[in-house]
A and B are shown apart, each in its own frame.
Chain A
Amino acid sequence: MRTRSWLPVLALVSTGVAAGPAAAQSTKGSLGIRPPIVDVVAAPPRGLPQATITNTTRDAMKVTVFPTLLGQSLDGTLQTQERPDQLGAATRLLSVAPRAFTLEPGHQRTVAVRWLGTLPAAKAAYLGVVFSGIPRRAASGGVTFNPRLVQVNRLRRPGPYVSRGRLVGLRGAQAGVRKLRFFVGVRNLGEVAEKPRRTSFVIHDASGVAVLRTRWKAAPLILPGATVEVPVDLAEVLPAGRYVAQALMRFGRNPKLEKIERPFALAGPNLLPTPALKLGDVRPSGTPGGPAHVKVTVRSTGTAPASGTLAVSLLRLGGTKPIARTSAAAQRLGPKRDVVRELDVGRVEVGLYRVQVVLRDGGRVLDTRTEGFRVTAGRSFLDRYKGAVAGVGAAVLLLLLLLALLRGWRRRAELERELAAARAAQGPPPGPPDQP
């Protein structure tokens, strides 16, 4: 067994954390671990390098340490998987000791890590060790922070392994004004984490001439079974027209050339007809005993028809678990068009609620919105009766008033007619006296 010496690393314990003026001036120190990544080729069970955790903050830190399985997001970032069953599975593959302790300011502590095995028939295990710190501090208002650090353990059994990857997608996206970004989807079908290599990306115009050649850079290590979208930014500006994008790679140790092609069109210089959806107004309302009524506007803000699904959750204000859920689709919404969806969800009583609306394109979250609303008591039968009576009364009063006015007007007209008749019966009025 060959083991790299850890002494130079240990010497950096106290300097690594405090480095950087921004860190020193603006924060309360750090929580640090070492080593952050462990690569091992060995047969389990066996001990792994001890992890060291250092607290340079001013607060004592309650630390818990636990192993997790690691997953990988489409953007390549690793995710700790922390459902109870997943945590249980992780503890069968990796053990840590101690699992909880208090770390005083300026102190460090080592944690023993032991690799116990792999999942059945697996050639490798990709496991995280989470160091979760909770500073001891007085309760106060505002937002406080707990630091968590994840050590990544890439553990492989010796011997042969399957190395295979496939290109599973190629899509373009508008990354800005005249900026095109393509995403090459790579799935690792092998048994260990590996990277694409000898990559290239070519764009052919409508006549089949290669107008652009580049490489994809910085592809991450892809876990077995995971799919990662590797971004490829184009430096050149292509005019409007029809093209074919082509991505090529070899994966890991496999010499086989993998290729994927997708046609695409540009509506202008480096301008993709890109679908994009956003949420507009979200207006929830409700009456006691009925469903919450949610009026959601979906806006197509891209340059191509777009489709998405709306997921609406009803929660009590302050609650974290939805009372009810519903969903609806927004299909093939043309560019710059809006569509309004009206959804009923759950049942509400008098009180405060909120609705969470999530707009998705497949599994991708495009937009989210949370709106609160108040459900007030509706009018009872008696209230409605009183209201109706009051309304009828007011109408009758108004009618009587109008009749009185009409009668007064007619009476006045009659008097004027009588006065005119009397004047006519008396003859003409005497003229003015003669002037001398």
Chain B
Amino acid sequence: MSTNRRLLAMGAAVAAMSVVPTSAMAADSIITGVGSSDLSLSVPATVVSAGFLTPGYTTDFTPSPVAVVAPTGAWVLKVKDAINAGQLQKGGAANCDDSVATFAQPLKFTSEVLLGGTGVSSATAVSGTNVTVASGSTLLDTVHVAYKQAVGWDEAVAAGCNYATTLTYTVAAS
């Protein structure tokens, strides 16, 4: 009888383990840093509009590449504009007095990954929350990000008036 009880108890234990399996790890602690190199992100040069921002037209910005180095190969690059939510802001120059403070449309981007990751092919708005720009699975890759700004026909912009914002690129390995 006691043998049967022991068998039942063992069976119940095995069944319980199959439902909630436990780690075979001992109490010993293990520290493992993954990767043999840095996770790094290049800091692109400031990009400026290819021409004057003109009412009624969409102006492209000179594209700037972003280089990503990821140790595990898998990475994701995101962008956000924490302060202006993707809205270019008028500079303080005197010739900007008659220009609108900002535009109805936010700054938009498209991206291409040089070595075959996933970019964003349709123009996507920059916002105050992180938006994925690209992801990839190579150790070193370059993302070409192109920006464009649409200016409404009724949005006055004085020639030479500068508009600016600062975007934050975030990269994480996964």
A and B found bound together: yes
Partner of A26, one of B46, B65, B106: B65
The segment from A252-260, A384-392, A395-403 that touches chain B is: A252-260
The reply to whether the CB of A354 lies closer than 8 angstroms to some CB of chain B is: yes
A142's partner among B37, B47, B72 (CB-CB below 8 A) is B47
Picked from A32, A160, A162, the residue with its CB within 8 Å of the CB of B40 is A32
* 27-46 of chain B: CB within 8 A of chain A: 27-46
CB proximity to A under 8 Å, residues B70-108? 70-72, 74, 76, 78, 84-85, 87-88, 91, 100-107
Contact A40 B169 (CB under 8 A): no
Bound CA span A151–B33, Å: 11
What 0/1 readout, one digit per residue, does chain A (314-330) give for beta carbons within 8 Å of chain B? 00011010000000000
Contact of B84 among A35, A77, A320 (CB under 8 A): A320
Chain B residues near A42 (CB, 8 Å)?
29-31
Nearest CB on A from B67, distance (A): 3
The distance in angstroms between the C-alpha atoms of A327 and B25, with both chains bound, is 52
Residue pair B43, A135 in contact (C-beta under 8 Å) = yes
Residues of A within 8 A of B167 (CB): 143-146
Contact residue among A37, A137, A140, A253 (Cβ-Cβ distance under 8 Å from B33): A37
> For the complex, what is the distance from the CA of A403 to the CA of B30, rounded to whole Å?
106
* Residues of A contacting B1 in the complex (Cβ-Cβ under 8 angstroms): none
16 A-B pairs (CB sep. < 8 Å)? A9-B36, A9-B37, A16-B69, A26-B64, A26-B67, A27-B44, A32-B40, A34-B38, A36-B35, A37-B72, A42-B29, A135-B43, A140-B48, A151-B39, A252-B21, A318-B87
Chain A residues with CB under 8 Å of B135's CB are: 77
Task: Check if B71 sits within 8 Å of A20, measured CB to CB.
Answer: no
Q: Does A141 contact B (CB under 8 A)?
A: yes
Interface size on B, residues (CB 8 A): 82
Report the minimum CB–CB distance from B53 to chain A (whole Å).
Answer: 10
For B65, give its contact among A12, A27, A159, A320 (CB under 8 Å): A27
Tell me if A255 and B102 are in contact (CB < 8 A): no
* Complex partner residue of B41 from A143, A147, A253, CB under 8 angstroms: A147
How many angstroms from the CA of A236 to the CA of B117 in the assembled complex?
Answer: 23
Interface of chain B residues 127 through 142 with chain A (CB within 8 A): 128, 130, 132, 135, 137, 140, 142
Cβ-neighbour of A317 out of B27, B102, B165, B174 (below 8 A): B102
Contacting residues, chain A, for B33 (C-beta < 8 A): 4, 6, 9, 35, 37-39, 49
Instruction: Please report the C-alpha to C-alpha distance between residue A57 and residue B66 in the assembled complex, in whole angstroms.
Output: 13
Let me know if A37 and B34 touch, CB within 8 A. yes
The number of A-B residue pairs with CB atoms under 8 Å apart is 290
Are B125's CB and A368's CB within 8 A? yes
B173 at the interface (CB under 8 A from A): yes
Q: Are the C-beta atoms of B38 and A23 separated by less than 8 Å?
A: no
CB-based closest 10 A-B pairs: A372-B104, A141-B162, A32-B40, A160-B22, A42-B29, A36-B39, A23-B67, A35-B33, A32-B38, A16-B37
Whether A30 lies near B42 (C-beta < 8 A) is yes
Minimum CB distance partner of A54 in chain B: B38
Task: Give chain A interface residues in 1-47, CB to chain B under 8 Å.
Answer: 1-4, 6, 8-9, 12-13, 15-17, 19-20, 22-23, 26-43, 46
* Residue with the greatest number of chain A CB neighbours at <10 A, chosen from B20, B34, B37, B66: B37
A158 touches B27 (CB 8 A): yes
Which residues in B have their C-beta under 8 angstroms from that of A29? 42-43
B69 touches A17 (CB 8 A): yes
